[in-house]
Structure 1
Amino acid sequence: MSEPTQRLPVAERGEEDPGREPAPDASHATQGSGAKSGRFWSARRIPAALCALVLLGGVGILLYDIAAVRSGRPAMQWRRSLGQELAERPLDDTAVLIGAGVAAAIGLWLLLLALTPGLRPLLPMRRAHPEVRAGLHRDAAAMVLRDRAMEVAGVQSVRVRVKRSRAKVRAVSHFRELDDVRAELDTTLGDGIKGLGLSRNPRLSVRVARPGKKG
């Protein structure tokens, strides 16, 4: 197999048991039990850090102002102005509606980050061992399929885009019948997708055209 398949990133791995038998070879891992692996979840470090900093700063300022008021000092100007605005401004005011919309949008964004796995470029692979999880980057998978497609007779150039549920192939053939090239590409790339060892094989979409024409 081509070079990108020899550097598959191992995302998570448990501690090895000294008494465990040696791991099987790559062919056995590909044809093993076929246990599926779920998608990798992003740590969301940057959004979490930004949210924590904003909350920490706001809570710190508010606590300082409350402590200052308890000690006999007047409240900060921003808190007096905010309290006055909240008491006097009607709910159907444009500024209130805009502020509520922005707050709702931020809340929905944070919920979306919390409920979705992220790491879309990383495709999960089948798990040959319960304690080992591996993933293949989409660009690496596309490179492997592109190399396989270029081995088909009649293919002049090819573009491959691999997504989580579909692999799109656009090939240009300068000789041979287009139907024959398409049929051979379907067979070759179908075997190539199975050889990637992905937990969920994407559907294959192949288009073949002559140079200078759209397929």
Structure 2
Amino acid sequence: MTASLIVLAAGALLFEAVWTRTGHRATAWWTRLTAEFATRPVDDVWILTGAAVAAALGLMLLVLALTPGLRRQLPLRVPADSPGPMRAVLDRKGAALLLRDAAMRVPGISAARVQVRRRQVKVRADVRFRDTAEVEDELTDAVRREGRDQLALARPPRPAVRVRRSPT
């Protein structure tokens, strides 16, 4: 909200500056604002207060930009018969562990690495025995089924599966 207000104020100031520079007559508020800035000294209380407020807003916006927020959480499906507003989330690392366990249950896989993102699940697996094409199909089905049914995510991610023959 603060950023929207700042953008709106900056846009109005920019529009008025361009409007007057293109030869149009300045509006009354612009004339008064420029006169106030031209006549007030830099150590005036109002100028220092405005600078302090601008610095505090800038610092607040920087802190908000650097906080992680809810990026590490995946929203879960809410049952249709829930009595009121409900919100449930699952940590990405927990989802990755559950999907890795599902991948390791596929016969022939010796190692699996899972990375869960907002829209996609990346699964890389090493196959010790069996045909890699068959294992890839079964692994894709297992990850899709686990992601859709067991995790109960609001937006089930799309699996991206890469299978390779185990180096040993």
1:173 pairs with one of 113, 117, 127: 127
Superimposed CA distance per residue, residues 17-59 of structure 1 (whole angstroms, 9 cap, x where no aligned partner): xxxxxxxxxxxxxxxxxxxxxxxxxxxxxxxxxxxxxxxxxxx
TM-score, normalised relative to structure 2: 0.58
Question: Which residues in structure 2 correspond to 1:60-71 (within 5 Å)?
Answer: none
Identify the residue that residue 115 of structure 2 maps to in structure 1.
161
Instruction: Indicate the structure whose relative CO is greater, using CA pairs within 8 Å and at least 6 residues apart.
Output: 1
Moved over 3 A (4+): 102-108, 110-113
Q: Does 1:206 align with 2:161?
A: yes
Superimposed CA distance per residue, residues 106-148 of structure 1 (whole angstroms, 9 cap, x where no aligned partner): 46525646xx982211111011124321111111111111111
2:143 aligns to what SS in structure 1? helix
Uncovered stretches (5+) of structure 2, i.e. residues with no partner:
1-41, 44-54
TM-score, normalised relative to structure 1: 0.46
Structure-2 change in CA distance of 1:123 and 1:184 (3 Å)? same
**Cα distance in 2 between the residues matched to 1:136 and 1:110:** 25
Uncovered stretches (5+) of structure 1, i.e. residues with no partner:
1-81, 84-101
Q: Percent identity?
A: 42
Residue-pair matches, total: 113
**Cα distance in 2 between the residues matched to 1:117 and 1:206:** 28
**Cα distance in 2 between the residues matched to 1:119 and 1:184:** 32
Question: Which residues in structure 2 correspond to 1:10-49 (within 5 Å)?
Answer: none
Q: Relative to total residues, which structure has the larger helix share, 1 or 2?
A: 2
Query: In angstroms, what is the RMSD of aligned CA positions?
Result: 2.9
Q: Does 1:122 align with 2:73?
A: yes
Identify the residue that residue 33 of structure 2 maps to in structure 1.
none
Question: Which residues in structure 2 correspond to 1:127-138 (within 5 Å)?
Answer: 127-128=78-79, 129=82, 130-138=84-92
Superimposed CA distance per residue, residues 67-95 of structure 1 (whole angstroms, 9 cap, x where no aligned partner): xxxxxxxxxxxxxxx84xxxxxxxxxxxx
Give the letter aligned to residue 194 of structure 1. R
